[in-house]
Amino acid sequence: MPSFVPECFFLYTFLMSDEQLRSTLSGLKGFAFDEVPWTTPKPLHESRVAIVTTAGLRVESNADWNAGDQGFTEIPTDADSLTLAHYSPNFDRVGWVLDKNVVFPIDRLHELAEEGIIGSVADTHISFMGAQPDHTLETIRLDSGPAAAKLLADDEVDLVLLTPV
């Protein structure tokens, strides 16, 4: 059995629901920095905002996600052919089909920008894939995370909103 699947799953296989899954996932290992990093934010109404999601989104021409992939996909702000291609079967996908904003709230950000609540919406957004078997996330910490940060910096992003799947 792979290390990222806790044996206790087998105790619960006759019960359903996110509550059960949450209870199990809460016990998994995770990587925390020794010191929580802290960047003093700019005023919200001056901030350029990007979405970084772990939903495993892909744009039309990109390859599908595979288990353990710690890379990322660049999502243009006007991409209209997004696919939720996360490898894990363990979460709802119908909500995404009904409304992409329930995962990737790009329309909401544009509305907040029009209202002047945030400064602007980035041209570039990023998708990683969650449910990683390597809880140290070494590749994300040392390679793909900083590489994604470089793209966001090039777009002059100030604030990142992270949405999980």
Partner 1 sequence: MGTLASVLEQEGFATVALSGVRGQIETTSPPRALHCDFPLGRPLGKPNEPEFQRDVLIEAFSLLEEPAGPVLVDYPISIEDDADAPLSCVIPPSDTSDRNPAASEALGLLPAWRRTQKKYGRSSVGKVITAEQVPDMLDLFIRITDGESWDKVGFPGNPIKIAADIKNFYEEASISLNDNPPSARSAESWFVTKTLGGQTIQTARIKMKEADVDFDIWYYLLPVTQHHEGEQDSL
Residues 35-94 that bind partner 1 (CB under 8 A): 36-42, 44, 47, 52, 54, 64, 67, 80, 82-85, 87-94
Binding to partner 1 (CB under 8 A) within 84-143 occurs at: 84-85, 87-103, 105, 107-109, 111-112, 117-118, 128, 130, 137, 140-141
- Interaction of residue 161 with partner 1, rule CB under 8 A: yes
Show the 3-state SS of the chain: CCCCCCHHHHHCCCCCCHHHHHHHHCCCCCCCCCCCCCCCCCCHHHCEEEEEECECEECCCCCCCCCCCCCCEEEECCCCCCEECCCCCCCCCHHHHHCHHHCCCHHHHHHHHHHCCCCEECCEEEECECCCCCCCCHHHHHHHHHHHHHHHHHCCCCEEEEECC
Minimum CB distance to partner 1, residue 96 (Å) = 7
Select the residue interacting with partner 1 from 59, 79, 113, 160 (CB under 8 A).
160
Which of 42/76 has CB closer to partner 1?
42
- Interaction of residue 3 with partner 1, rule CB under 8 A: no
Minimum CB distance to partner 1, residue 35 (Å) = 10
